[in-house]
Structure 1
Amino acid sequence: MLRLPLAALLAATAALPALAQPECPTRADIDGGIRLDMGDGVVETYRPLRPGVIRVTGEEAGGETYRIDLAKGLYTLAFQDVYDGRPDPAARTTHAFEMRPENMPDPAPGSRVSLDVVTVDFGEFLAETEHYDSGPLSEVTIGTCRYDAFEVVARYSEEPGYEDGFLYLPELGISYLAWWREGSEREDLPVVSIAAVR
Structure 2
Amino acid sequence: MTITSRKAGLAAAAAVGLMAMAGAASAQNAPCPTNAMGINSPTTCSCASGGGTGAVWGTNVYTADSNVCVAAAHAGVIGANGGQILVTPGGGYQSYPGSTQNGITTSTWGSYDRSFTVTLVSMEMPACGTMPAGAEIHACSCPAGPYTGSAWGSGPYTNDSNICVAALHSGVISSAGGIVTVLASPGLQSYRGSEWNGSTTMDYGPWSGSISFDRN
TM category (shorter chain) comes to under 0.3
Q: Which has the higher strand share?
A: 1
Q: Which has the higher helix share?
A: 2
Which structure has the larger Rg?
A: 1
